[in-house]
A and B are shown apart, each in its own frame.
Chain A
Amino acid sequence: KAGVTQTPRYLIKTRGQQVTLSCSPISGHRSVSWYQQTPGQGLQFLFEYFSETQRNKGNFPGRFSGRQFSNSRSEMNVSTLELGDSALYLCASSLAIQHTGELFFGEGSRLTVL
């Protein structure tokens, strides 16, 4: 069974640009969550999607957005990039949205903003 796939793995952007990251969950998983990881703030929850609906959102500005498609694949978008958006963006999937259970993470997309 293929794991969680994130693309692209690495990308470099400049301030003011926008970026779209993609995540394909494990087959059959319907819940997708996104996390931002930086050395200073650690792992922070961005948002969670289930059945194409955003179920939870972390404390991030509106420049951070996402969506989920009918096949459970998800994308996140960051507009008007700032230097502080440089981070490893991790996607995780799980079977459903119940309150317990493990998350399966992808390898991440490392974004560098110059």
Chain B
Amino acid sequence: SQQGEEDPQALSIQEGENATMNCSYKTSINNLQWYRQNSGRGLVHLILIRSNEREKHSGRLRVTLDTSKKSSSLLITASRAADTASYFCATPHYGGSQGNLIFGKGTKLSVKP
């Protein structure tokens, strides 16, 4: 099965609210990444957190990583309609190289104005 599994599969919130997405993985990792995809477009890298980090911030994004539980969360604060997209976590394939990532099925976020 896939390395990363996000939940929820879909999330609908109002503008200004916070959105939290979770990701679980199965094997040991040295980093975990989050990507965003607008409908039918390419993926955009949001943030990378290394296995020795517990929390990382980038603008309105906050990512946490719990290696003991093999889980990560992505928090988007003060969401905007423009945040509407699908969000994916990705981990390196065990023994693989940078380009060989395993993606979860994603969380589809809808932010209503």
Contact = CB atoms under 8 A, between A and B. Distances in A.
Contacts of A92: 43, 99
Contacts of B41: 107-108
A45 B98 contact: no
Interface residues of A, number: 31
A73 interface: no
Given A42-B104, A42-B105, A90-B43, A99 B30 contact: yes
Given A99-B30, A102-B48, A108 B42 contact: yes
26 contacts: A4-B42, A31-B98, A33-B100, A33-B101, A35-B103, A42-B105, A45-B99, A45-B102, A48-B97, A48-B100, A55-B97, A55-B99, A56-B100, A90-B42, A90-B43, A94-B98, A94-B99, A99-B98, A102-B33, A103-B99, A104-B45, A105-B35, A105-B42, A105-B43, A106-B42, A107-B42
Interface of B: 2, 30-31, 33, 35, 40-45, 48, 50, 88, 92-93, 96-106
Interface of A: 4, 31-33, 35, 42-43, 45, 48, 50, 55-56, 58, 88, 90, 92, 94, 96-108, 110
